Amino acid sequence: MTTAKTACADAGVLPAGDMALAVTHYFAAAAQARPWSVESGLDWDLADAGLLTEGQRSAVEFITLIEDHLPGYFSLYTENFPVDGSVEPEIYEHNRELYHFTIRWASEEDTHARALARYQEASGMRDASGVRAQLIAPGQGRFELPYDHPVQFFAYALVQEKATQIYYQQLRAVTGDPVLTQVLTRLSRDEARHFTFMADVVTQYLRHYGDEVADPIREVVANFRMPLSDTIRGYWRWALKIADTARYDHTDAYEHLIKVVNRAVDAPSERVDSLIDFVESCRTLRPSK
């Protein structure tokens, strides 16, 4: 007879109780966060793109595209962690707990996309129809992560969320428009909470599976690409351009991944040590153009 524990181990997912605990921690933290919405709390009438440099305006366009691809990100989790009859009851139990987070995460990321689009409109960068038109082609591109192990989806998001948070903070430090500063402050706070959830889940994987997840995490780092890097025309040239405005390098997030691994493992094995060494070696590498 297949037990819930055996079914989860065979699928490579956490026990449902562990996932539920991570989700509960996230919602507890979210309850303490300052609430905000696109429609209130920001004085859009004061937004002025004329206060931005050309590089800063380009950065706003770039991050709007990244945030707006939410349907693509969301589908990754609904496809790989389905909440229907296609999985065993024990796996459904795990996936349903994760879904509580995923649907909230999607809502918050969609708010980010709407806030950045609203800023472009309010600041005079583009009119509403121009913003929508800009988002069509990238939005229709399919976002794929060719992963086999469940932990890889969380390790990828851990790096992505932290890298995005860091960039928003750095762009906020140089922007000339106080309204954009407020938008980026709100976005970076949300991304910090998203990172914390992903770090919590990866920590549980390391504690539960140990060496088994070292190589899958290593694969994420070895092949990491930010979302839309393969679908936006001229992505790397654009990424390098906005890096001239505020440092943009996803490897800045690797330090935080190393901290997660170190905290999760009381007695590192050879494979875990090798993982840490590999991540450390990748921190200064830059993606090719």
Summarize pLDDT for 180-225 with one digit per residue, the tens: 999 999 999 999 999 999 999 999 999 999 999 999 999 999 988 8
Q: Is the predicted pLDDT of residue 286 greater than 60, yes or no?
A: no
N-terminal to C-terminal alpha carbon distance within the chain: 53
Cα 278 from Cα 260, distance rounded (Å) = 15
199-219 in b/e form (b: 16+ CB < 10 A) is bbbbbbbbebbbeebbebbbb
Summarize pLDDT for 2-17 with one digit per residue, the tens: 566 777 877 899 999 9
pLDDT recorded at residue 97:
98
Angular region, 271: left φ>0, alpha ψ -120 to 50, beta rest: alpha
Q: Where in the chain are the domains?
A: 36-282
Which of 114 and 246 is assigned the larger pLDDT? 114
For residues 18-37, average pLDDT: 94
Cα 229 from Cα 250, distance rounded (Å) = 12
The dotted CATH code for 36-282 is: 1.10.620.20
pLDDT recorded at residue 289:
35
Q: Is the predicted pLDDT of residue 287 greater than 60, yes or no?
A: no
Q: Is the predicted pLDDT of residue 239 greater than 60, yes or no?
A: yes
pLDDT recorded at residue 260:
95
This prediction's pTM: 0.91
Confidence of residue 70 (pLDDT cuts 50, 70, 90): confident
